[in-house]
Amino acid sequence: MTIRKYQAKDREKLIALWQQVFPEDPPHNEPSAVLDAKLAVDDLIFVAEDKGDIIGACMAGYDGHRGWLYAVAVKPEHRRDGLGKELVTTTIRAMQELGCIKVNLQIRADNTAVAEFYKSLGFSVEDRMSMGVLLV
């Protein structure tokens, strides 16, 4: 298994992974549109590849002030073997190399299993209110 930066040849496999792992995402999170929008800005996407298959991915953002993790995904049959941790730490290291000093993420409030995973990596719940506006 190798973790590396996303390449154009990964497109269909990454889209399929996101569709599998996030089947109930709203229409504005449609994987091909998200991927195209991300690549128009930068290429902070890492994939985990095993025998030609994309088994995990982590998309990140860095605005010069803080970093964000988005769409951290691991195929169900590869969970709980350290792959998610390796993807997140690889992505965070890449952001640190860009000068990032703080990384944020958002998860759904009812996703307690994922909250525990991130806590095990040093993330903590911050007293913040998350707000957004959908522009489409």
Handedness of CA 66, 100, 58, 115 (dihedral sign): negative
Q: Which residue is associated with the tokens 């995990």? A: 56
Q: What tokens does 79 get? A: 């969970």
Domains of the chain, CATH where assigned: 2-120 (3.40.630.30)
Q: What is the pLDDT of residues 82-110, one digit of tens each?
A: 999 999 999 999 999 999 999 999 998 88
Sheet holding 45-50, edge to edge: 2-5, 45-50, 53-62, 67-74, 103-105
Give the confidence band of 111 by pLDDT, cuts at 50, 70, 90: confident
Beta bridge partners of 40: none
**pTM for this structure?**
0.92
Alpha-helix runs per DSSP H in the chain: 11-21, 31-41, 83-97, 112-120
* Measured distance CA(23)–CA(111) in Å, rounded: 15
Q: What is the pLDDT of residues 32-76, one digit of tens each?
A: 999 999 999 999 999 999 999 999 999 999 999 999 999 999 999
Q: What letter represents residue 125's amino acid?
A: V
